[in-house]
Amino acid sequence: MLQLAGTLRPLPWRATRDPWAVLVSEMMLQQTQALRVVEPWRAFLGRFPDPAACAAAPVGTVLEAWAGLGYNRRGLQLHRAASAVVQRFAGRIPADEAELRRLPGIGPYTARAVLAFAFERDVAVVDTNVGRVLARAVAGVPLEPWPAAAQQLADRLLPEGQAWAWNQSIMELGATICTARSPRCTTCPLQDTCRWVAAGRLGPDPWRPASRQGPFHGSDRQGRGRLVAALRRGPLPLAELAAAAGWDDDTDRARRIADGLVADGLAVCDEERLRLP
């Protein structure tokens, strides 16, 4: 049994069991460092304290509140999930994995996180930090196929009745000690049982690195972010798309990116202008 000990960082979502607050934190934490999420999470819940408040707001208002977090599609999906919760569950986040996964933008990981951290159900939650700890300390070899093998191992290790503490602890360990680069093995509570340490950390790192995206600078992702940032300031004439996206000499590319925003529900095009929904 993998037992963990240590002090958790006082992240504010760790002090609540409100399912909506937990769901908001999980959506914000996707591909974003925890400390960057703290203030946006507080501000977002101040504006939208429950699913009903979020669902009642225009999509554009929710996207405005998402400023600074990146990956704006997550804000759109959160608004859609809130609307579904109001329509299907009278505004209450369901405590059932299958029902959670039927909500827009909610996959297996997020559903399990809500169950473990809001409802304290006995489910293991596996993200990249957890997978890294399991591969190095427990398996000593890459967990393939990812993430199914990591999830199966975590399910076997999860101590009954301790899901909240166990999941939070192993995530904290991966985020602060068993990091992808320069792991702090000498301060790790698992150093005496870690298979990678026992092997002298020789050979390949058992952690299977996640596939890397291409460079952000100059990418379509950067252009999308710039356009959404511009739209938060107000409607944007189509003639100004290229400049707003940072590609003064590539109007076709800027228009393609704008069309993608419209297709994804992140923008609306009317009267030769692009605006938030």
Whether the CB-CB separation of 112 and 172 falls below 8 Å is answered with no
Distance of CA 69 to the CA centre of its chain: 10
Distance CA 266, CA 277 (A): 7
C-beta separation of 17 from 23 below 8 A: no
Cα–Cα distance measured from residue 198 to residue 200, given in angstroms and rounded to the nearest whole number: 5
Task: Quote the strand ranges of 57-175, DSSP E.
Answer: none
**Contact in structure between 229 and 241 (CB atoms under 8 Å):** no
Contact in structure between 32 and 44 (CB atoms under 8 Å): no
Q: Which amino acid is at 78?
A: L
Runs of H (alpha helix) within 121-162: 128-133, 148-157
Helix (H) or strand (E) holding 172: helix 163-176
Rounded to whole angstroms, what are the CA distances from 138 to 141, 165, 183, 192, 230?
Answer: 9, 18, 15, 11, 47
Q: Is 144 one of the catalytic residues? A: no
Q: Any idea which residues carry the catalytic annotation?
A: 26
